[in-house]
Amino acid sequence: MKLRFGRPRLDDYLAALAAVRRTLGGEYTLMVDCNQGWRMPWDVQAPWDLAKASEVAEELIRHDVLWMEEPLYRGDYPGMAALNAHTGDRLKIAGGEMTREPYEFHEMLRRDCLDVYQPDAVCSIGMLGLSRLAREVTTHGKWFTPHTWGNGIGLIANLHLTAGSVGPEGCPYLEFPFDPPEWPPRPATIRSSLR
């Protein structure tokens, strides 16, 4: 299960994370999306800096979170590399859902910015381009787990992309949005999107 952070009151989200961990128990895998990589119209606060992201990372580690997604602006390669080096094996750093160009991914790989690469077949370089990138990413020992939002067609595209390139070994998790009423937890969402 992945929780979304990044709105004004961080303490509320940390409290929600603690409650979710307490309720689900220690065995349940949790991720946190900090949504600092790109801006939406309602994001009026300054994005986090490395100090803030590092502070939140320690909280996530305390709650045994598997990965921290988009902890910093998507172009802050030095920041992501520093955070990734600092958190090491204690926490995976994920990102790249709105990164579009191959050279950007190559630069992030070169600098070791991320453990988990998340370009979306709908938003980035398409299925053929991303299937090549997926293999490249996993060759570096990283995970390739595409972002999905939008609609069920995008979900199926990303499912095909990962199944046909790196499989469950390179993509151990696939994003399945839960955001009713657009994304209820039923396969009917996919069917209605395809109609």
The answer to whether 43 touches 14, Cβ cutoff 8 Å, is: no
Smallest separation (angstroms) from Mg ion to the CB of 115:
15
**Extended beta strands in 66-179, E state:** 67-69, 92-95, 116-117, 143-144
Strand partners, 95: 117
What one-letter code names the amino acid at 59? E
Smallest separation (angstroms) from Mg ion to the CB of 149:
8
Smallest separation (angstroms) from Mg ion to the CB of 97:
5
Nearer to Mg ion, 97 or 115 (CB): 97
120 binds Mg ion (CB under 5 A): no
Q: Which of 13, 17, 32, 33 binds Mg ion (CB under 5 A)?
A: 33
- Give the span between the Cα atoms of 113 and 64, in whole angstroms: 21
Q: How many residues bind Mg ion (CB under 5 A)?
A: 2
Residues 6+ apart with CB under 8 A from 103: none
Restricting to residues 68-107, which ones interact with Mg ion according to CB under 5 A? 97
Nearer to Mg ion, 118 or 139 (CB): 118
Smallest separation (angstroms) from Mg ion to the CB of 195:
26
Nearer to Mg ion, 42 or 195 (CB): 42
The answer to whether 178 touches 185, Cβ cutoff 8 Å, is: yes
* C-alpha Rg value of the chain to the nearest Å: 16
Residues that bind Mg ion (CB under 5 A): 33, 97
